[in-house]
Amino acid sequence: MQTSNAQKTTLAKLDPRGRKVKILATVGPASRDREMLAKLVKAGADAFRVNMSHGEHADHAETIRSIRALEKEFGKPIAILADLQGPKLRVGKFKDGQAVIRHSGHFTLDRNPEPGDENRVELPHPELFGILEKGQRLLINDGKIRLRVIRADANEILCSAEVGGVISDRKGVNVPDAEVPIPAMTEKDRKDLAFAVEQGVDWIGLSFVQRPEDLAEARKLMGPGIALCAKIEKPMAVRRLGEIIELSDGIMVARGDLGVELEPQEVPPLQKKIVNATRMAGKPVIVATQMLESMIESPTPTRAEVSDVANAVYDGADAVMLSAESAAGEWPEESVAMMDKIAVQVERSEDYKARVRFLDTPPDATTADALSHACMTIADTVSISAITVFTSSGSTARRVARERPDTPMLVLTPSMRTARRVGLLWGAHAVATKDIGSFEEMIAKGKRMALRHGFGKAGNKLIALAGVPFGTPGATNLLHVVTLHGDELKGFGE
């Protein structure tokens, strides 16, 4: 018999967050003090992004300490993503600090370190001179100035200004039509990565990814225990998207830079393509940049921004991200609360379940995938209050989340690292708890944790998913349906 709408409404209320998509909030000057961070958690933030492009290590260390203290205060794991800056291509300096490039005029980028003028400026990146070809584009200052290459040699790049305008010292350069032969990590990134590892962050965001090989150095320097999120912000990365997804632990759709290097109309379908491909791989995908940008200055978003967030939720993204809205805006708490309200409203809509499952994710030919798929099928058929997943690495939780079940997922793990990492995983609510050693202990603990953390009440049914022998990563082979009773809270501690 199918679960009735009334039953599903009752079960939905048992989800502690009321939603399954996660909110990743960037920390900055407007939000780094502990009091504001606490407000953001209460407003709905599930995870925090520390942007290594700005601020000093001492400030970031204080932020991380505050977040870890809030974990204890709120009694829940909180994921921290350290986002590396990546290489930045910039022009040199000008005689007067700036110049005006004429529309349809010629402008030269060269290797001459002398200050520039309206005709030329230094481009202090010798690796670009050997790769650019006639007809390729150079975008300066986030695409406000658009140049087209006429001729390029080892010392000069002569361009035609398709869109001219004011250009000033050290403005950024984007090269959308060529694979830039520089690594994704700079010396600053290596120092920032070492700092982040030392601080015990849970995720590393890798910028400027163009090819699968770009992930190798970060992997080597990170060591085990930390997850790697590849930021898709370069058109070149899209060409090898499948390989990049395979070698990463998660993906961020970095729409800011994508929107500079691509035509605006190309970004929405590409966002859906990246989200779908990452979901198919069973890995978390974050939609980022300009989601509620008007809330940097306004306490309310535009209707278009609300629709943008809603579409990402309907697409089944694991997380949606706030950037300057929470880092430097005037309304950080309100921005998180608004994103929470949008997500909750979308997930309560009648067609959400069908929309989020529109992408067909057939299970791989493995026992673990078959059982994860069965969890969804059982929850759709029988009134289930929660899927309780026992995992040491988080892989079982990822498999279940891939199916986008209508039922909340309670992830029980002996590893605090794992509990924090799944903070970016759709529908996963993690609890770090002592390991289990037997089937009977698994059932007793699953019931106890479900009752204690609000995932069920007496009379509700619960799915338990685990692997035997216990503690063996990747050995998911056991699914059990149990009924909760009121006296199970009498068990021992977590």
Concatenated DSSP letters for 195-242?
HHHHHT-SEEEEPS--STTHHHHHHHHH-TT-EEEEEE-SHHHHHTHH
C-alpha separations of 203 from 199, 218, 225, 228 in Å: 11, 12, 9, 6
Residue 6 lies in a domain: no
List, for residues 252-272, the tens digit of each pLDDT value. Answer: 999 988 999 999 999 999 999
**Judgement on whether residues 134 and 278 belong to the same structural domain of the protein:** no
pTM of the full predicted structure?
0.93
**Judgement on whether residues 208 and 287 belong to the same structural domain of the protein:** yes
- CA-closest candidate to residue 51, choices 72, 35, 30: 30
Residue 437 has pLDDT above 90, yes or no: no
Residue 472 has pLDDT above 80, yes or no: no
SS3 content of the chain, % helix, strand, coil (to 5): 40, 25, 40
**Judgement on whether residues 255 and 273 belong to the same structural domain of the protein:** yes
**What CATH number is given to the structural domain containing 420?**
3.40.1380.20
| Mean pLDDT lowest among 35-39, 119-123, 434-438 | 434-438
Residue with tokens 């200055």: 297
Domain boundary among 297, 316, 351: 351
Q: How many domains does the chain have?
A: 3
Residue 4 lies in a domain: no
Cite the beta strand spans of 241-356 per DSSP E: 250-254, 285-288, 319-322
Confidence of residue 1 (pLDDT cuts 50, 70, 90): very low
Please give the residue that has the higher pLDDT: either 211 or 470. Answer: 211
123: containing domain: 98-174
**Judgement on whether residues 104 and 28 belong to the same structural domain of the protein:** no
Residue 224 lies in a domain: yes
Percent of the chain with pLDDT over 90: 87
**Judgement on whether residues 337 and 188 belong to the same structural domain of the protein:** yes
Note the residue count of the chain.
Answer: 494
**Judgement on whether residues 39 and 117 belong to the same structural domain of the protein:** no
**Judgement on whether residues 195 and 285 belong to the same structural domain of the protein:** yes
Q: Mean per-residue pLDDT for 206-233?
A: 95
**What CATH number is given to the structural domain containing 296?**
3.20.20.60
Confidence of residue 14 (pLDDT cuts 50, 70, 90): very low
**Judgement on whether residues 77 and 142 belong to the same structural domain of the protein:** no
Residue 388 lies in a domain: yes
**Judgement on whether residues 25 and 126 belong to the same structural domain of the protein:** no
The pLDDT value given to residue 271: 97
**Judgement on whether residues 67 and 202 belong to the same structural domain of the protein:** yes
**What CATH number is given to the structural domain containing 148?**
2.40.33.10
Confidence of residue 282 (pLDDT cuts 50, 70, 90): very high
List, for residues 69-120, the tens digit of each pLDDT value. Answer: 999 999 999 999 999 999 999 999 999 999 999 999 999 999 999 999 999 9
Residue 8 has pLDDT above 70, yes or no: no
Domain boundary among 287, 321, 351: 351
The pLDDT value given to residue 447: 94
Residue 250 lies in a domain: yes
Active site residues: 49, 90, 231, 289
- CA-closest candidate to residue 350, choices 1, 9, 3, 7: 9
Residue 92 lies in a domain: no
What long-range pairs does 44-47 form, CB within 8 A, spacing at least 24? 44/17, 44/336, 44/337, 44/339, 44/340, 45/326, 45/336, 46/17, 46/22, 46/78, 46/79, 46/319, 46/423, 46/424, 47/22, 47/23, 47/78, 47/79, 47/80, 47/81, 47/319, 47/423, 47/424
List, for residues 127-137, the tens digit of each pLDDT value. Answer: 999 899 999 99
Domain boundary among 174, 209, 226: 174
**Judgement on whether residues 301 and 415 belong to the same structural domain of the protein:** no
Confidence of residue 488 (pLDDT cuts 50, 70, 90): low
Residue 356 lies in a domain: no
Confidence of residue 469 (pLDDT cuts 50, 70, 90): confident
The pLDDT value given to residue 61: 98
Query: How far apart, in whole angstroms, are the C-alpha atoms of residue 264 and residue 270?
Result: 11
The pLDDT value given to residue 131: 93
The pLDDT value given to residue 17: 62
Task: Report the chain's terminal Cα–Cα distance, integer Å.
Answer: 35
**In the predicted model, what is the mean pLDDT of the chain?**
93
Residue 7 lies in a domain: no
Query: How far apart, in whole angstroms, are the C-alpha atoms of residue 412 and residue 449?
Result: 8
Residue 492 has pLDDT above 60, yes or no: no
The pLDDT value given to residue 413: 95
The pLDDT value given to residue 489: 65
Residue type, 89: L
List, for residues 334-377, the tens digit of each pLDDT value. Answer: 999 999 999 999 999 999 999 999 888 888 889 989 999 999 99
The pLDDT value given to residue 16: 60
**Judgement on whether residues 238 and 339 belong to the same structural domain of the protein:** yes
